[in-house]
Copies of this chain bind each other. A is one copy, B any other.
Amino acid sequence: MDNPLHEFPGYLLRRAAAARMAELSQRLAPLRLTVSEASVVAVIADNPGLSQTEVGRMLAIQRANMNPMVRRLSERGIVLMRQGNGRALGLTLSKEGRVVADAIVATFLDHEAGMMARVPEDLRPMVAPVLMALWAPRAGEAVESE
């Protein structure tokens, strides 16, 4: 039984991402947050006052999908939706939200350490450059986020 897909870096990329995201989901489970929700909170923590749409642009999440997530986080008392510029709502974290954000960042750092520990030491400096190259848009290609 051999898997021909093991030859393809695209398959390795897909499986690696799926495995590590499942692991991160488990690490975030005690906070009752999905990876997407935790990412949104982390971005708001570093950029208080952004609108839903702007946060979504940074994370490549469409505003239609941001909305129910932000409302959920607001109902849980983590995110505050205040009047902002124009119709935009300025998103900030509540006091409790800032505690949650600290826990999220700690979880992300643990996860990062666990990921890097898998990689042989001589390859570790290549991890970020390789992943950035695989992600980055090529010249002339449309960029949908950031």
Interface residues of A (CB under 8 A from B): 1-5, 8-21, 24, 35, 39, 42-43, 45-47, 50, 54, 58-60, 105, 108, 111-112, 115-120, 123, 126-138, 146
Contact = CB atoms under 8 A, between A and B. Distances in A.
Given A19-B135, A134-B20, A42 B123 contact: no
Contacts of A12: 128, 131-132, 135
Quick one: copies of this chain in the complex?
Answer: 2
B4 A42 contact: yes
A79 to B, nearest CB: 16
Given A43-B4, A134-B127, A14 B17 contact: yes
Contacts of A134: 16, 19-20, 115, 118-119, 127
A139 B116 CA distance: 15
